Each structure stands twice: as structure tokens, then as C-alpha cells.
Structure 1
């Protein structure tokens, strides 16, 4: 079954049927979309094993020109100051519903066990590219911080604002604990054997390989464990989700 095609078709039918109902129809259409998203997420969780791996590739299959998605050069002053110093002063904060909050430099992250994987990036716009990513497993950092029992989601707070304004809305994303603890979910600091380039999210980006590209947060400054994201941003779990995208973007 093509899950995404079925979902788009189902939501399209629901939207067409409800359009004539004005504002009530729009509200019901949004409810139908959210219900469909929840259904497809539960079905995929039921059918696909939690540790099922995304396909991996050989170095010969790495794309010669990996197109960067989203922001490519954040304009925020705090990010520019870190970039000017080669990210020597960068600290990744891991906090929220944890017993032992962390503040880690890039050297700290590189000192932890590294994982390298060659995977395909699937963009919601329809293009794909393959690259090699090296970083630290997110699960290892969450275990080090000690998640509290009520932690259900991990929220990634980022340096970039897509409107490139100093006071613009910063990008954020979130995933549940199933994806956070997946063996291929890493915080990457290197790409194709080199230091992660700025257009691809330096100094640190998320690779959550069973999700579409907009879930792969770049320019990460803070990771927050929460029991709900209702009071973060627009309350939908991510920058693009607040603008109508699906929160669950599994592939």
C-alpha cells in the first residue's frame, strides 16, 4: 500500500465534501486530516517493527550534488557569532523532563561513540539525495540525561528562522520516543567524511531516517524532552506542522 498516496486521497475527498460548509467545513476538514494522520501513524507503528531500518547505500551511490533543504545560512546574531569562531563556543543543551541536564560542546559530542550511515534523504518537494552522515545516537544522549517517566516527545529548538530575520520565528521540530530511540536516529556533525557544512545544518543536525526531510531539524541548539508540545510554537509539533504539514511524516 502507498500510505502517503492513500492519505492524500482520503483527505482530498474529505476536503472536497466539506468545502461548501464554510468555516465549519474548514474546521471539520482539519479534524479529518488529523484523524487520518493519527490512523496512518498507528497503522504503521502496528505493522512496521520499531527497529526496522531505513535502506542504506554504498559510498559509490552518494549523490554528487546533495541539495540543501530549508534554511541554508541562518542570519541570527547568536548563530553568526558561533560560526565566526568555528563553533568553538557552541553548546548543545539537553533539558526538559530529564534528571541530568546536559550542556555539550562539539568536542564532547565527538568524544562519544560515533555512528556512520549512508542513507537517502526524501524531501516533501519530491527530490531525493544520498549522503553519508556521522554523529552520536540520540538515544545515547537521552539515556545520559536520564529521561523522566512522563517524557513522551523530543523537541529540537534551532538557530534558524526561515524568514532570515533576527527576531523571526525559530525553526523547531519534534519526534516521539519511538523515533528518538531508533538505531538510525543520530545527531550528525559530519557529512561525507567532512565537517558538516553550514547549508546542511552546521554545527549539528538531526537525522531521523524514517521520516521526510522537514523532520530532520538543522542548526540544533537545544533538545527538550516534554510530555506535550501543545504550548510550544503553534502547538502542532513543528514549524511546518504549525502551517498545515503532517506531524507524522513517516516513509
Structure 2
């Protein structure tokens, strides 16, 4: 079966794949997908779409083009929580029990000045509030307000080294506990998206502290990409030259299982 890509908006194409059952036989955000890895033809099509989207967003839209923002009246009454909603990992449970009093977000790797930032440090950093639409690869969308520290000034403070090309976001939650460390969630973005003005480390949602189900104490918001890139329960941000040595080597939990690394919308 052919998959017509030309002329289709990216999100419409993704929904079509989900509906056809060729790409996402089960939930993208809720459970591990084995059928996608087995279907090399579909994986190849997705890889081609990824390259097309990456090039078009970089060349046609511009590196700093903003995702659409909305008004308070547009905020969804029921913003779906997906993936992990209450991690059972011991380190996270300890932080949760202590009210995140001892939480520190580490920024290290290829940086001149490694950081260990408390929630107070993050709240004191240059911030941004934005009302944006969260698009899941499953086909649903919700609109929410996010407040958080802008990532770019934090990276400037850490002093990212010239050889760094990506940021890897290591998380507290495991989606596949049977896989040990390979089952722990992680994601990555390039430094272009890292310095985008709408890329923030969100600690508040809809004017209140970030709920546990949505990634407390801190989650990534990278507004020009699909929902699985918005890593929750952040523990560490590592600047790297490449991510071939990390977990499955594809740059993210779902990417290691066949998804696109660049999930731009």
C-alpha cells in the first residue's frame, strides 16, 4: 500500500498513518510498539518524512519561527495526561515525598560550567509563559498554558562547548520497567531548538505548579514538535556531540523503537 505524502500537512499525514494501523498499531505514548520495528517499509517512509520536515522547517519557516499561541479562553478544560502519570522509580518517589525540596536539575556533559539547579533557581531564571497546543502522534490535541525557565539563558550560563550539537534530556520515569536502564525515558533535541524562544523548562501549568501527571517538577516544552518530544520528570540535561552511545542510540525512548527523531509540526 502506498502512502501519499506530497501536499498533506504533516499532522494530517501522521493521523492517517495511525488510522491505517501501519505505523502505530498501539499507542505512541502509552505502550511499546513492536510492530513498527518489524515493518521496515513503514519505518523507511517515516524516515523520509522526517528529513523532509526537518529541512522545510529549517529553510522555509526559519529557525526562530514561533508555534501558534492562543488565548486563555482557548485552554482545554481536560488536558489529557499521557505516558507516565506517576512514576514508581525510587528516586522520583523520594523527591515526591519530600515535596521536591532536594531536587536539582543537572546540566552537564559538554559544558564549561556544570549546573545543579533547584526549583528556586529555575523560578528565578528568565521565564516565559505561553499558551500552546500539544499535538500527540495518536491524533489528539489539547491547549494549555505553560510557564517555565527559558532554556537558552540556562545554556548560556552553563557555557555549551563548541563541539556539542545536541541536548539529551534524561528523565526519572521508566516506561518499560522490564528493560532496566534501557526502559528509562529520555529525549533529545538539537541546539537550534534548544535556543528557540518557546523552548522552556516548564514548572507551572495553567497558572499552578506542574501536576505530577504532567511531569512535575519540571518538563520540557519544545513547541514546534510532537508530544513525545516534550520530556517529563526531568532529572538531567546532557550536552553531547552525538547520542549513539546513549541507550538505543537513536536519540529517544520512542526513537529507539522506530519513531522519528525530528517530530516537527
Change (3 A) 1:166 1:78: farther
User: Aligned runs of 1:88-103 on 2, under 5 Å?
Assistant: 88-103=101-116
Q: Could you tell me which residue of structure 1 aligns to residue 216 of structure 2?
A: 202
SS in structure 2 at match of 1:82: helix
How much does 1:165 deviate?
A: 6.2
Q: Sort the Cα spacing of 1:9 and 1:62 in 2 relative to 1 into closer, same or farther, 3 A.
A: closer
Gap runs ≥5 in structure 2 = 1-6, 23-37
Determine if the alignment matches structure 1 residue 186 to structure 2 residue 200: yes
Name the count of aligned residue pairs.
Answer: 238
Equivalent residue for 2:88, pick from 75, 78, 100? 75
Look up the SS of the partner of 2:94 in the other structure: helix
Residue 177 (str. 1) matches residue 191 (str. 2): yes
TM-score where L is the length of structure 2: 0.84
What is the CA distance between 1:167 and its match in structure 2?
3.9
Contact 1:184/1:209, CA 8 A, preserved across alignment = yes
Contact 1:7/1:37 (8 A) holds in 2: no
Aligned pairs for 1:1-251 within 5 A = 1-4=7-10, 30=43, 33-163=46-176, 167=180, 169-251=183-265
Q: What SS does structure 2 have at the residue aligned with 1:118?
A: strand
**Worse-superposed segment, 224-233 or 27-36:** 27-36
Question: 2: distance between equivalents of 1:153 and 1:95?
Answer: 12
Q: CA deviation at 1:41?
A: 1.2
Q: Distance in 1 between matches of 2:144 and 2:15?
A: 28
Structure 2 Cα separation of the partners of residues 145 and 62 of structure 1: 34
CA deviation profile, 1:172-196 (whole Å, cap 9, x unmatched): 0000111111100000000011000
Greater CA radius of gyration, 1 or 2?
1
Q: Distance in 1 between matches of 2:105 and 2:66?
A: 27
- 1:20 corresponding residue in structure 2: none
Shift of 1:43: 2.6
Over the aligned positions, Cα root-mean-square deviation in angstroms equals 2.3
Contact 2:149 2:201 in 1 (8 A): yes
For normalisation by structure 1, the TM-score amounts to 0.88
